[in-house]
Chains A and B, each alone.
Chain A
Amino acid sequence: MNDDDILVEFIIEAREILDQLDLDFVLLETTPDNKKLIENIFRAIHTIKGNSGFLALKRLEKVAHAAESLLGKIRDGHLMLDSHKTTILLSALDCLRSIIEGIDDLQVEPAGDDSALIEQLLALAMGKNIEISLSQPSISSPIAASDLLQAVAQPLTPPADDSILSSAHLSAADLTESTERVWDSDYVDPANNQEVATPVRVNLELLDNLMNLASEMVLARNRLLSFTKQFMDHDFSSAVRVIDLLTLELQERMMKTRMQPISQLWSKFPRLIRDVSNECSKKVALIQMGAETELDRTLLDAIRDPLVHIIRNSIDHGIEAPAERACCGKPEVGKVLLRAGHENGMVVIEIADDGAGINYDLVRQKAVEKGLVSPQQAIGLNDLQLLEFIFLPGFSTKSEISNLSGRGVGMDVVKTNVSKIGGSIEIDSKPGLGTTTRLKIPLTLAIIPALFIRCGTEAYAIPQDSVLEVANLDLGSDSTGLEDFYGSPVFRLRNRLVPLLFLNHQLEVSQDVPAANAILSIVILQSSGVRFGLVVDEVLNMQEVVVKPLGPLLKDAKDFAGATILGNGRVALILDVNGIAVESGMVAKIQSRPLTPVSTQEKSHEEDIAMLSFELDEQFRLAIYLDQVERLEMVSPKLVQRNGSRDVIQYGKDIMHLIYLSQYIEGAGGYQANKNEDIAIPVIVHRGKGVIVGLVVSQVLDIIYVSKNLHQASPPQKGLLGCVSLHDQVINVLDLEEILMMRNLHENSKEYPAVIDMDQGS
């Protein structure tokens, strides 16, 4: 082990010790009599001091020594730990930490002067109660603050030096005594030692490499598996099967090594909460639940900043000052609850506070002030819609800017960061009761579903979570085609203007413009609150991909989020939708000039309702509420299976029951599914209470927006809710619930004929 290795080891160990000390100190403040804890803290600081002395890191040694002197007094019961002393000791920790980070960067101890801090520590250790509190900024930048103090205290340096020396002598005597006690207590107090097999510290890079190899192993195994079919050799096949199983297990175990409990992240929060609540003079208790929940380590890193931000918000905006809380009849100490757990293959992290909640009226007022909505519109907005504003850049309800929050930079960044890792964020806030923020994070970043498209000769992947839909625009036949909106091309998608971006121009692979009669393939994307269409050469397929970083040489490529290796071994780039939206100037353009021309139309849509219109046979037009439609499918009649009296079809992992609407609707023609086995039939898929049904229709027409108020049919018709008029045409609206009910009765009737007779008699 050479010197560098020793230094690296030292830095890692010191960081761990400091993290633990943060926790210990906050705990100690609540239980100042905890002798064991003081002993542990003392020993930890002593370790740092000893090691830094060994490595000749003078600044570290001096600060650690001064802190140790004060702690020694507290341990021996000469002094009591109070909030002031804790603050000074914590700033000593911060000072140690910043020096250690400096060493990590520079490989040598960074220059700096800590004498002001040391002086204070020693003065406190001598029992003097000096009240030069290290001002708040010292917590974030202890060096700068102590430099400042030092500059002021410059003329007084000689006596200060004396005091350091004298107290150094003083505690040197303590030291021999205390080291003995440290060793003694090791036998008596094994609580702090890890009893079980100690985990081994492994380099992260090594783990990543192993992970990589395991994935490659899987690919190699796939190739091997295809050989077994060729050779049909029993021994060979069984050998391959063993490899197959081992590879699978290897991969699974490797995935597990990347998982780390969320407590690793949360352990930093008690200190954070202490600092923030002191800063806002509030009293806050932190409750943690589910700290053992495991997450991929890259995800842990990614959610650190969002969590810190949300917690700061909770304390600064949410939880009220103690006096105010007392007035509302709440306990003076506010609560912040962190809860993590698994839900549907995602990790859900909740940050709840019992504070004042979000002031919806204030949000509404600010939204009007900022010109985001008209006053009339604002009144109509419900709480959920108002919450959306919180995620807009530059939106803040705080009137004055504090050190912590209120600058309006925040929740939008939180949302972007969370969605970057494929997660989502929800806020639930009840005025007077508190706010709960829920983050849903995927278990692992490594694998994401992506849409492959072609641009020029290369295939690119687009992460599926930003893809809204894929559309074709026939420039030749479309009446409006491409339009120009302030110099950028836009097109109409269901009466909404969508700005377009040509991927080949954005990536500078070619400058071709589409021919006048070309059919454009457009992927509609949503990112950073912007919706735009990306024109690609061809839409290929969906596939799950393993995301890999591009590495330092290509880190400036803003258009790409990474790359993946395809089944054939070739590399495909993954587009960074967010990056492209920003790089192309799309975000700035849309934010400066919202696409208003259709907004009047949009507005009328808000009072309207979306329906899907379809034909049952040539004349009979029907519509169904769009929210009842899960998706549209084309089903081959060959796949339809007769299951007793019902027609069913395999739909993914589930069974879909086919419904022939003509059996239920009065007046509909006797349309039956086309018996010609070669023509696929269109089916509208509806997912109801635990059952998937497919409505067999002859043709799906369009999405229409019609008035919410239906014309009642008189007399009421079976299976129909009523009708709407669109362009002088009457369209009947399907009563899906009634049809499903009738179907169930119908089904039951096969088993219990008596029942149906009674029902039908009505």
Chain B
Amino acid sequence: MSLSTEFVTFYLAGNYFGISASKVLELNRNFEVTPVPKSQKVVSGIMNLRGQLVPAINMYESLKLEAQDDRKEAIAIILQCAGFLAALLVDDVGEILSLEEDTFEPPPSNFSIVSKEFILGVHKLPTRLLLILDPNLIIQRPEKVAKNSALLAH
């Protein structure tokens, strides 16, 4: 018997994504993001989550998605992982799905819609594909990029 995992699903530029529900603290619809001038592009700004400052991640920038006309970023998925919080700004959320290992496949090699590095793999659902994101990488990548560029500068 294969293990089943719960995923929070969401939409970005018409793509269907999933992220492990164990890392999701909550979904937030009423939020305001304060932009931080001169910060990395992947950070849209910061928001207030019950007195805690949470960086809001620009998922379009992070996944290198083309911004579309219906870009709403109406919902923030609050992740708690690698010791701190981050909010992923997404257009809409879907159902929470409990999926078995047997529909899962590693990302195909000719995958080109989004930056492949964040995709853990793909769940083949009856009607469409669900792209599973790696929450750790999404939260940590900006820092890594900063580190690398700092290394290059020296």
Contact = CB atoms under 8 A, between A and B. Distances in A.
Contact of A570 (B32, B43, B142): B32
A548 interface: yes
B86 interface: yes
A552 B86 CA distance: 11
Nearest to A562: B53
A233 to B, nearest CB: 27
A508 B52 CA distance: 26
Contacts of B40: 553, 556
B143 A569 contact: no
A508 B32 contact: no
A552 B36 contact: no
B28 interface: no
B48 A569 contact: yes
Interface in A428-464: 458
A298 B48 CA distance: 22
Interface residues of B, number: 25
Interface string B113-151: 000000000000000000000000001001100100000
A482 B68 CA distance: 44
Given A549-B53, A565-B48, A565-B51, A570 B39 contact: no
A552 B37 contact: no
Interface string A205-216: 000000011011
B51 A551 contact: no
A552 B40 CA distance: 12
A571 B47 contact: yes
A571 B39 contact: no
A551 B53 contact: yes
Contacts of B29: none
A215 B48 CA distance: 13
A553 B53 contact: no
B154 interface: no
A554 B84 CA distance: 13
Which label, helix, strand, loop or mixed, suits the secondary structure of the A interface? mixed
Interface string A507-525: 1110000000000000000
B51 A552 contact: no
B39 A557 contact: yes
B18 interface: no
Given A563-B46, A565-B48, A550 B53 contact: yes
A571 B53 contact: yes
Contacts of B46: 550-551, 554, 563, 571, 573
Contact of B48 (A213, A507, A554, A571): A571
B39 A554 contact: yes
Contacts of B52: 212, 548
Given A216-B51, A553-B143, 14 more contacts: A212-B52, A213-B50, A213-B51, A458-B34, A458-B35, A553-B43, A554-B43, A560-B36, A563-B34, A565-B51, A570-B34, A571-B47, A572-B34, A573-B46
Interface of A: 212-213, 215-216, 219, 458, 507-509, 548-554, 556-557, 559-560, 563, 565, 569-573
Interface of B: 32, 34-40, 43, 45-48, 50-55, 84, 86, 139, 142-143, 146
